[in-house]
Amino acid sequence: KAVVLAMGCRERTREAIAIPGNRPAGIFTAGTAQRFINIEGYIPGREVVVLGSGDIGMIMARRMTLEGARIKAVLEIMPFSTGLIRNKVQCLDDFNIPLKFNHTITRIEGEKRIERVIVAQVDNSLQVIPETEEEISCDTILLSVGLIPENELTGEAGIKLDPVTRGPIVNENRETEIEGIFACGNVLHVHDLADFVTEEGEIVGRAVGEYLKRNIRFRSQSIKIVPGDNIAYVVPQHIDFIVPGRKKIK
């Protein structure tokens, strides 16, 4: 038997990034706002601040604009966009939506509904720079501050996780360190494109087929892969030697 972990990922929420201030209505993850518009047929707000320049955040900034909302600003704590360049150009630049690098929200204000946010510049250590705060009036905040692989079940199963990707450690066949348990997609690490998830699913599908036919059941010594300079992480984290008589999975 074999098990394939494919639980995907979830969006970071306000609680995950600890934004101080009141708890009024009007705070949504970008994915939730996308569901409201695309499936429920509701626009979640009219005066919008987007926190984070991830792909879904930039896409939703454009979508909200097309639905009649005004995007007051897209705030990015890093000195660069964390999404694809084409999304920055097509979703922000083409619609004259302001993108502020090295900025974050320091406080949320409002009673029943958001009325304003206080934003400030940050330094190279991502610490708020004193006396740089400014007020932006808005009724909605969209959060695009990253995705987290859904690996609570993985951890409970005793599978070792990579501290950087927050996904399981795997070999070239995407098999975890527990024999017969494989992982693919955003549960393994967050992918930029859905096409990459599809390709990885095909890799795992072939590998599982060979495993069930016992072509890759027995392991030999592994080669550990270590990230080089300016490389955040690598997947897979180790490669198994191909022993004589065992079919290699491409």
What integer pLDDT is reported at residue 21 of this predicted model? 75
Task: Compute CA distances 75 → 79, 108, 125, 166, whole Å.
Answer: 10, 14, 17, 25
Average pLDDT over residues 79-84: 90
Annotated domain spans of the chain: 22-145, 148-240
Reported as a single tens digit per residue, the pLDDT across 82-92 is 888 999 999 99
What share of the chain in percent tops pLDDT 70? 94
Reported as a single tens digit per residue, the pLDDT across 120-146 is 999 999 999 999 999 999 999 999 998
Reported as a single tens digit per residue, the pLDDT across 146-180 is 889 999 999 999 999 999 999 999 998 899 989 89
Rounded distance between C-alpha atoms, residue 234 and residue 250, angstroms: 17
CATH topology for 22-145 is: FAD/NAD(P)-binding domain (3.50.50)
DSSP 94: G
Average pLDDT over residues 200-205: 93
Rounded distance between C-alpha atoms, residue 152 and residue 39, angstroms: 28
Burial, 66: exposed, middle or buried (Cβ in 10 Å; 0-12, 13-18, 19+)?
exposed
Average pLDDT, rounded, for the chain = 90
Report CA torsion sign: 25, 28, 34, 36: negative
What integer pLDDT is reported at residue 15 of this predicted model? 73
Q: What is the pTM of this model?
A: 0.78
At residue 217, does pLDDT exceed 70?
no
Q: What architecture does CATH give domain 148-240?
A: 3-Layer(bba) Sandwich (3.50)
Residues with Cβ within 8 Å of 76's Cβ and at least 6 positions away in sequence, in order, are: 52, 53, 82, 99, 100, 101, 102, 103
Tell me the one-letter amino acid at 227.
P
What integer pLDDT is reported at residue 98 of this predicted model? 96
Rounded distance between C-alpha atoms, residue 236 and residue 119, angstroms: 39
Q: How confident is the model at residue 247 (pLDDT cuts 50, 70, 90)?
A: low
Reported as a single tens digit per residue, the pLDDT across 18-69 is 787 778 899 999 999 999 999 999 999 999 999 999 899 999 999 999 999 9
Q: How confident is the model at residue 250 (pLDDT cuts 50, 70, 90)?
A: low
**Is 22-145's fold the same as 148-240's?**
yes
Q: How far is CA 172 from the centre of its chain?
A: 23
Rounded distance between C-alpha atoms, residue 71 and residue 64, angstroms: 8
Q: H-type helices in the chain, by residue range? A: 14-17, 30-35, 55-66, 85-87, 152-156, 194-212
Average pLDDT over residues 93-104: 97
142 C-beta neighbours (distance < 10 Å), count = 29
